[in-house]
Structure 1
Amino acid sequence: MKELRENQRFWGIGELLMISIPASLSLLNTTITRFIDGLMIGWMQGDIGPISLSAQSASSMTAMVPESFFMGVLSVVNTYVSQNLGAGRRNWCGRYAWAGMSVAVAAAALMAPLAIFARQIFALYPHEPALILLEATYFRYMVLAAFLTLPARVLESFFFGIHRSTVVFVASLVSAVANVFLNWVLIYGHLGMPRLELEGAAIGSVIAWGLHLAILLGVFLQRSMGAAFETRSPGNAKLRHVKDLFRTGWPAGTAFANDVFTWTIFLGMLVGRFGTDHLTASSIAWRYIPLSFMPAVGIGIATTALVGAYIGRGRHDLARTRTHAGLTAAMVWMGLCGLAFFLFRRPLVEFFLQLPAAGDAAGTTAMHESIVRIGGRIMIAAALFQLFDAVGIVYMGALRGAGETFWPMIVTVILSWTVTVGGGVAIVVLLPVLESIGPWVTASLYVVLLGILMAWRFESGQWERIDLLGQGSASP
């Protein structure tokens, strides 16, 4: 592997983009696949499309609540791999990857029993019975898919950590194409298959995730990778490596799980109480928002890898400049997306809705117009917080690369419960005339405050005192 370059031009933005572009594209592949997923579901004739779209969003977020804790813990595989790479201890990279894989499989086994209680879980939401039935069906597939998605996240973090994000991009591209094809076959019942609608989308996603994992695992186990990083020696991963992941990763996991949980309350309870039209409009907005922030997350992942690698070399100055490079790139991208959200808000929402057929009831047309009206307002709220979201994503990635995960967790938990949930409940009770846009205002405020606080924390320089590798970490 090429040595890290100390090119100071443009804060080393070229070096950052070499890692972040494949990482962003791989995440964008997944996002676009989910976007097309939603389109195929939303385009089903009549009111079944919007209802299924609402069910998919609510059940996906609910399934993410238990999975997100372990995803947060396992994300620090990137931190340990990149810091050991920078310190010249490549054999430790594979050890942390295998430690992460063992945690991933155990976590999926812990989550699996939730599939049995799907109906009871969604009965807690103030949703219509038909919607709950669809949500429970999709939820079961998403929970069991953790046996594929969690190990895949570990391998992605490993490849990001060794600065080979192209591997992740190729795997995600192949699985994305497969997912779209499988959706076409299974949702609509082509090529002699039964029309499975929302359940078909779930099955297609699970198969595509399996393909994604298989590709990553195939590269991970190559002989050349084994020689360089001990990827073919799972027995070299010790309990201490698992402990390291939990010691540094539990705050990140707690923050992520809390974030997903509070957003699930936001969507399922606060927005959902205003009816299916509001839930569908929010679900459509959620399809567009990741198109903006997922590439920024890729930039944040690259920032984590570079900050970790330069800290491993003892170059905190370059870790700081690479963070500023990532901040610039993320703000440019998300700023442009925010402008598009504002200018084209109505056409963007309308794009997800199948035009009523000639024989459809007039009620379907009225429902579509209501969804477009509500969705347009939500897109304005989303446009307003884009730049602050970019700031929070990149600075949080930089702090994670340095091993600082506890402080971001505390801030995330406090803000999410006081602003997103607490503020959301207050505005629903005190200003119900705002309907679902009220909770969206408080959620936007949460993103703004989080970005400001993450920027302050990084620029304060507290992270420079952290020493993850320690004096004794060189010994097996």
Structure 2
Amino acid sequence: MDQRFDQDVTSNPGPSLDGPPLKLSWATDLRLLMVIALPNVASMVSQTLLSIVDFSIVSVLPNASEAQAAVSSGAMVFFACFSFLMGIMVCVTTMASQSLGAKRYNDCSAYGWQGVWISAAFGILGFALWPFVPTIFGWIGHEPAVLAMEIDYTRIRLLAVGLSGAAIALGHFFNGIHQPGQNTVTVVGTNIINALLSYALVLGKWGFPALGVAGAAWGSLIATAIHVVWLMGLMCFSSRTQQFNALRMWRPNRDKMRRLLAVGWFSGINFTIDITAWAVFLMVIVGGFGTVHLAATAICFRYSELSFMPAVGIAMAVCTVVGRAIGEGRPDLARRRAAVGCIVNMAYMGSMGLIYVLAGTRLMGIFSNDSQVIQIGTRLLLFVALFQVSDAMAITYNNALRGAGDTRFPMIAAGIESWGIMILGGYWATRWWPQLESIGPWIFATLFVIAISATLWVRWCRGKWETFDIIGRDEPSAEVPDGEVPLVATLPPDGFGEPEEFGSRLGAP
């Protein structure tokens, strides 16, 4: 199925400037978007199921509530430390898709490799943060039983910073060239490996030692290493990527690295702001009410992933098609396909919100048999349900703006609104209305999601992004190094005209 999706995208990549403008229907836009989105959604669902599987595995440990709280908090701290690099790496899609639209095919793989080099440099920071992990969790002040597991889990996860960044960069290269199915195969495969390793290492199955919460972290580390090797093999040796000269574009390129960082810098700060804000919300503001409230919120986060992770998959496709349309000089097409993606996401996440309202108690009971956790979590799920439609808008237009290279404004908006509304408001709620307990902070979290969605939608509608040129259209494309034979390749017909010749773009005579 993944191959069929990829073939459809390759053979129907959208209109180009080589012929007259095409008047495509919204139904056609939806089909083209979903052809790219479905593999991404499969990847996101697979990743979500993995986190749920990990959560379920540690739930059978004797100290289940403490273990669940430790895994959630540890993952939050890891992603807070890793978020800046992650925000840069997702912009590989932006650069590769715009290069694809502009028919600068060597540049697509060059940007993928720059992501790998940047990730390798950031990987050193994972080791540098080791001594500070106890201090971070000591400042948060969780119960001693939770604290010890949080430290072990996070230290192991930090070893994978560079590998995780490289995996994201390579995966987003495939998204950018409209071949997300190849990435999906690797994501699903490595997630299965991860789940099996976590099961064996957490519970001591199949002759492996029982490492408890630390076993889940080791499983993630090993699976991530396998993922990177798999993606590199596909990028360099797959017959479907040879036209991008990936094997010859591996060297560091100062100009490409500068351009990727120029766009990714603000995206990285945005990711850091967002993930850090939610980490503070979970561990400090809500965690201040005790382990029961922390566990209930952690379960709500798991269910929230079931709605927003598939939406992120669709929004990633929006980023890709927006980037390619802009590379082709078609901002009108970018606007329309972003609107289609937003409608799809709002419909899906709105439906999930309805499920949270109608089946909240049953959903909470799947992960916990603690009556207090179930009671508190059922109430909190109502707030998760309330902001689903707004969250769909925020996710979609944030990715649309990223596809256009507009990353600075979303970063500023996220910083002001997440910390000004959710964190500051949540803190005030704990002081002014302590009788509401964790419900008070969740009210302000809901207000934040509604506010940021409106802000990003207005930014997109105003069209400032149409003036950006992030790939340097007037500058030469990357060249095959001297002494190496350039690859001459032809893509299948694009569905709207003649086959696309790669030869002249790759330096062929």
| 8 Å contact from structure 1 (residues 92, 230) kept in 2 | no
**Structure 2 CA distance, aligned partners of 1:121 and 1:66?**
11
| 8 Å contact from structure 2 (residues 111, 257) kept in 1 | yes
| Counterpart pick for 1:201 among 188, 197, 216 | 216
**Structure 1 CA distance, aligned partners of 2:356 and 2:250?**
50
| Counterpart pick for 2:58 among 37, 41, 46 | 41
| 1:354-403 superposed Cα distances (whole Å, 9 cap, x missing partner) | x5xxxxxxxxxxxx111111111111110000000000111111111111
Compute the displacement of 1:85 (Å): 0.3
**Structure 1 runs, 4 residues or longer, greater than 3 Å off:** 223-227, 234-237
Compute the displacement of 1:352 (Å): 0.7
Aligned residues with identical type, % of pairs:
35
Residues matched between the structures, number: 461
Structure 1 residues 348-387: aligned runs within 5 Å: 348-353=363-368, 355=369, 368-387=370-389
| 1:385-425 superposed Cα distances (whole Å, 9 cap, x missing partner) | 00000001111111111110111111000001110111011
* Corresponding residue number in structure 2 for 1:2: 11
Structure 1 residues 69-88: aligned runs within 5 Å: 69-88=84-103
| 1:18-75 superposed Cα distances (whole Å, 9 cap, x missing partner) | 0011011101101110111101111324xx1110000011111111112101111121
Compute the displacement of 1:3 (Å): 4.6
| Counterpart pick for 1:409 among 390, 407, 411 | 411
Compute the displacement of 1:236 (Å): 4.5
* Corresponding residue number in structure 2 for 1:363: none
**Structure 2 CA distance, aligned partners of 1:119 and 1:314?**
51
**Structure 1 CA distance, aligned partners of 2:385 and 2:83?**
25
TM-score (normalizing by structure 2): 0.88
1:291 counterpart = 2:306: yes
* Corresponding residue number in structure 2 for 1:22: 39
**Structure 1 CA distance, aligned partners of 2:205 and 2:60?**
15
**Structure 1 CA distance, aligned partners of 2:110 and 2:450?**
38
TM-score (normalizing by structure 1): 0.94
1:333 counterpart = 2:342: no
* Corresponding residue number in structure 2 for 1:188: 203
**Structure 2 CA distance, aligned partners of 1:390 and 1:11?**
22
Instruction: Give unpaired runs (5+ residues) of structure 2.
Output: 1-9, 16-23, 479-509
* Corresponding residue number in structure 1 for 2:193: 178
**Structure 1 CA distance, aligned partners of 2:390 and 2:296?**
23
**Structure 2 CA distance, aligned partners of 1:467 and 1:18?**
27
* Corresponding residue number in structure 2 for 1:398: 400
| 8 Å contact from structure 2 (residues 418, 448) kept in 1 | yes
Bigger shift: residues 212-221 or 25-34:
212-221
**Structure 2 CA distance, aligned partners of 1:202 and 1:239?**
35
Compute the displacement of 1:340 (Å): 1.0
* Corresponding residue number in structure 2 for 1:240: 255
* Corresponding residue number in structure 1 for 2:323: 308
* Corresponding residue number in structure 1 for 2:440: 438
**Structure 1 CA distance, aligned partners of 2:250 and 2:92?**
17
**Structure 1 residues 131 and 398: CA distance shift in structure 2, 3 A:** same
| Counterpart pick for 2:228 among 202, 213, 227 | 213
CA RMSD in angstroms, aligned pairs only: 1.4
**Structure 1 CA distance, aligned partners of 2:215 and 2:81?**
23
Residue 468 of structure 2 aligns to which amino acid in structure 1?
I
| 8 Å contact from structure 2 (residues 269, 411) kept in 1 | yes
| 8 Å contact from structure 1 (residues 385, 447) kept in 2 | yes
| 1:237-269 superposed Cα distances (whole Å, 9 cap, x missing partner) | 411111111111111111110111111111111
**Structure 2 CA distance, aligned partners of 1:399 and 1:9?**
20
| 1:404-458 superposed Cα distances (whole Å, 9 cap, x missing partner) | 0111111000001110111011111100011111111111111111111111111
**Structure 1 CA distance, aligned partners of 2:410 and 2:79?**
20
